[in-house]
Each structure stands twice: as structure tokens, then as C-alpha cells.
Chain A
Amino acid sequence: MTAKNKEPYQQAYYPPAPTGLTRYMRTSLVWQFYRFWVINLKILKLLLRSHH
């Protein structure tokens, strides 16, 4: 059976979709453990800049 064309010009047609690697990295324990500390550091910097 020949596959039908996918409908273009719809809402879901335009936004970027995460690749398999991106989706994997979102729940990769090693990578996310590293990102956890990076995010904490970024939020700490934000807090320090916010206090007057």
C-alpha cells in the first residue's frame, strides 16, 4: 500500500520536534545529574542578582 501524503500547513506542521537524542538526553541519568547542578548554579546566580 502506498503511504498517503501527510497533511501540511496544520498547527503541528511547523514547530521543531525533538530528535531521538534530545528525548533520550532529557531522561539520561548521567546527563540530567550534570544538568541538575548547572541549573542550580544558574538559579543561584539569578537569586544573587535579584537581592538588593
Chain B
Amino acid sequence: MARIVILGAGISGHTAARYLGKWLGKQHAISVVSPNAKWNWIPSNIWVGVGQMTEQQVTFELDPIYKKLNIAFHQAKALSIHPDGGADSADPFVTLEYTDATRAGQTASIPYDYLINATGPKLNFGATPGLGPDEGYTTSVCTPAHALHANEQLQSAIAKMRQGATKTFVVGTGHGMCTCQGAAFEYIYNVDHALREAGVRDQARLYWISNEYELGDFGMGGVHIKRGGYVTNGKTFAESLMVERGIEWTVRAAVKRVEPGKIHYEILDGSEHELDFDFAMLIPPFAGQPMKAFDKAGEDITADIFAPNGFMKVDADYKPKPYEDWSKADWPNTYQTPKYKNVFAIGIAFAPPHLISKPMQSANGTPINPAPPRTGMPSAAIGKAVAESIRDMVAGAPEPTHTANMARMGAACVASTGSDLFKGTAATMTVFPVVPDYDTYPEYGRDMNLTFGEIGLAGHWMKYILHHVFIYQAKLRPGWSLLPD
């Protein structure tokens, strides 16, 4: 009987758990470790952040779901990985600390034959002084609790505006090296929509600030799409939408610190600026979860297993090289760690070989560039591919049997720009591949027939349906495995 441990139950971890449970749950021991009792459909948090959805609509309890597949659920955070075993154990194991109310603070170790690290990001608010809802002055939509807090702040601002106040809303990225611009992009349009619905849009100044070189970069170096007889960069459409909704913007910006009501930021030319705000939602930079790794003798081997930013090294090419030499071959295929063939990292937990957008530094040496996105569709595809590989390796395959290379994989993003069954809209964007492939597509690095974007009510319907379909699938309702990931 094989023992499979999955650290993390986000989009990629839960996808891997679902399939491994379906294929191996009856014969093998599968465990999932997550500090959160509930699963969260993160893309819908932006609707919680404007009061269009409740926390209950975007979350559900994990334990009853895993019981259906004979998966053991540990509500705990992983502390360390011991891939060679330890003094008291010849088998590899992980240590964890429980976070549920009955066992909070208790530690345990779980042995494994196969380990999947799907721990997702550490929301690194501490990288920017004054950032975040807990110890800072800005809001976030990265978790349901953060989104609820953001909505409280938003509704409070709207109530004051109904009495005649004017307010400045700033949305974007809270550091020079953030990813996940798409969530902020959706949020600013939903704030705009909420303000219009409340009849107070004229009293609001909406301002976008991000670390992208141009609007529409999204950490993928932007995209080109065919439209109106031209091949046009996505920047054109992103700027058009900002102007149409009366939103101002600053790009190439690294937020350096936040004080009550004031954002301090630097732009690429090295100049420093201030921006006053009444309400700010700024996405934090991501880092890997703070896990350690030890060898059998107890020596710290964290630097061998993890990159300095805390993400786990896998079968990517991490040799530093100039931007012009980056290629699709740098990106991982199997997500297997080089030294330990039974350890994999998926979703945001794997260390990308480098950025996708071109690295930029300010005149003062501050890096100002988006980190590569690994969320949503790519996360699920990677989780499923690794689950398939482990299923086959348990059955005797000597190597991983499935790949999910981001340079051979597309992604679809449906970004809500206002939620309403008949008046709502969303920007639907697809890109293929996520990582540009100039060998296959010399002109733009992408397949122009599969890379497109448009705004409309159909996108809103898609976003709404996807919300229900993915939650249905994640809850393992009948036929879940027939639905696309």
C-alpha cells in the first residue's frame, strides 16, 4: 500500500487529491494537510469583496468531501520535510502542526511514499510596510476573510458618499514583484460597478497602480490579439476599458510603503511619488510557505530543496541566463524534484525558472516587474498531470508519465467587470501558450487563433457558470470527473 501525502488543498492540491482519491483511494493511503478547514474558490472572492456573494457561497468544508474518497484530512500546517527519513524513521516523512480548535499547536509526523507540495503562496504583506488588512492600512481579496473586510470598508465608503463625501479608491499591486494582477483588475471594475449601482460614481476617483510595464501585461509579457483588421496588443484594450470607466492609472510602479491614507511608490525612472487614498485594495507579493527540509542526520537541506523565495525546485532549468535566451525548455514538465523522485511541487508552490515578463529595474535598482502567474487553469492542469504520474508510478512506472508544461499549455481567464445577469460584463481572455514559444510562433510567441479577448455579457455568464461548475466539481458531485479542469 502506497502512502501519498498532499500538502495544501487549494486549486492544484485539491485537484490532485480528487483524482488520486478516485483512482487510488480504496487501495492506498492518501492524506491531505491544509491549515484551512474550508476549500475556497478564490476567483469568486472579488464578488465577496463587493458584497455580491457571501463567504458561504465561495467556501465549503473539506473533511466531509475527503471522506467520500477515503482521504485522511489533517487540518494542520506543514512545518518540515524529511525526504531521507530521520533518526527514528527510515521512511521519508513530513512534520506538521495542527490548527483546528481541538488540537491547535499539537505536532505530528506523517510518513509518505509520495509527497505533493501544493502549499500555495504565503501572502507576503510584510514585504511592504503598511500593506495588508492585519498590520497595515490596505485591504485584500486573497482570502474570504480579507474579501469580507474589503467589502466592509467599501460599504462604509459608499455610505459616506451617499451623504455627499468624495473618496479616492486605489486598486492594484502592493509591491514591485507581485503577480495576480488579474484579481486586482477584476476588483477595480467591480468596485466601479458597485459605485455606479449605488449612484455615487461621480463622487469617486478610481486609480489603478501596478508593477506591470504596460496595462494588460498580467505577468505574461502581455498578449497580442486579432481585432478590427489588426493584430493589437492587449494594452490597447486594457487602456480603453480604463478610460471608458473613468479610471486613472500608473504602471511601472513599486509600492514602497503605505501610511494611513497615503501610498508611497517608486517608478522605473527612479522617481518617488505619493498617492492619497480613502480605500485601497493592493495585492501582496507571494512567497513560498516557510517550510524547512532536513536530511536523515537532521542537517538543514532547505536550500537544496527550495529556491530562496521559498518555492520548491522542480525539473526546470534554473541556470541564470539573459532574457533573450529564455526558452520554453526552461519550464518544468513533470514537477518532480531533481533529487527526490517521489516529491513533486504543483500550483504556486513550484519555483518557476524565471519571469515571463521582461525583468526591469528602476534607476535605484528596485525590481519592478510582475512575477509569472501560476494560478487557475494552469494550477489545475499541473495538479491533474502530477496525480496521473503518481497513479502510474504506484502501479510500477519508473518515471512520471504525464507532463503539463506551461509553454505547451493555454489558459483562459474570465475577468468580471461588473456582476449582473443582464447588465454585467466580463473580459474573457485566452492565451496559448502561457509562456511564449517563439520557436513555434515566431511572430508573437503565441497561437493567434487560440489567443483572443473580448468584453461582454457572455463573459459574465461564463464567469457565473464557472463559479458553480467548479464548486460542483470540487464538492465531488455526480459526474465531477467528466467536467473539464
Contact = CB atoms under 8 A, between A and B. Distances in A.
Interface of A: 11-12, 14-18, 25-29, 31-33, 35-36, 39-40, 42-47, 49-52
Given A14-B239, A29-B422, A52-B403, A39 B459 contact: yes
B240 interface: yes
Which 9 A-B pairs rank lowest in CB-CB distance, beginning with the nearest? A15-B239, A36-B458, A46-B410, A32-B457, A35-B458, A26-B456, A32-B458, A15-B240, A50-B409
Q: Is chain B's binding surface mostly helix, strand, loop or mixed?
A: mixed
Given A17-B240, A43-B412, A52-B404, A11 B462 contact: no
Nearest to A37: B458
Contacts of A44: 484
B242 interface: yes
A44 B377 CA distance: 13
A50 B432 contact: yes
11 contacts: A15-B240, A15-B242, A15-B243, A17-B243, A28-B457, A42-B430, A43-B412, A44-B484, A46-B450, A50-B408, A50-B432
Given A16-B240, A52-B402, A29 B457 contact: yes
Contacts of B422: 27, 29
Given A26-B425, A32-B457, A35-B458, A49 B432 contact: yes
A39 B408 contact: no
A11 to B, nearest CB: 6
Interface in B201-248: 236, 239-240, 242-244, 248
A16 B239 CA distance: 8
Contacts of B318: none
A27 B450 contact: no
Nearest to A51: B381
B458 A39 contact: yes
A25 B430 CA distance: 20
Contacts of A14: 239
Interface residues on B, range: 35 or more
Given A28-B457, A35-B456, 7 more contacts: A16-B236, A26-B425, A40-B462, A45-B450, A46-B450, A50-B408, A51-B381
B244 A17 contact: yes
A46 B459 CA distance: 16
B315 to A, nearest CB: 15
Contacts, number: 79
A36 B243 contact: no
Interface in B429-466: 430, 432, 447, 450, 452, 454-459, 461-462
Interface of B: 236, 239-240, 242-244, 248-249, 381, 385, 402-405, 408-412, 422-423, 425, 428, 430, 432, 447, 450, 452, 454-459, 461-462, 484
B412 A12 contact: no
B455 A26 contact: yes
A45 B435 CA distance: 18
Contacts of B236: 15-16
B205 to A, nearest CB: 13
Contacts of B411: 46
Contacts of B457: 26-29, 32
B240 to A, nearest CB: 4
A15 B243 CA distance: 7
Contacts of B484: 44, 47
B242 A52 contact: no
Indicate the member of B243, B428, B462 with the most A CB atoms within 10 Å: B243
Indicate the member of B236, B409, B447 with the most A CB atoms within 10 Å: B409
Contacts of A31: 456
Contact of B452 (A26, A36, A42, A49): A42
A46 B244 contact: no
A49 B409 CA distance: 7
B227 to A, nearest CB: 10
A46 B412 contact: yes
Nearest to A43: B412
B381 A25 contact: no
A26 B239 CA distance: 17
B456 A32 contact: yes
Contacts of B242: 15
Contacts of B244: 17-18
A52 B335 CA distance: 14
B331 to A, nearest CB: 13
Contacts of A49: 410, 432, 447, 450
A8 B327 CA distance: 42
A42 B456 contact: no
Contacts of B412: 43, 46
A39 B243 contact: no
Given A11-B248, A18-B240, A52-B404, A39 B409 contact: no
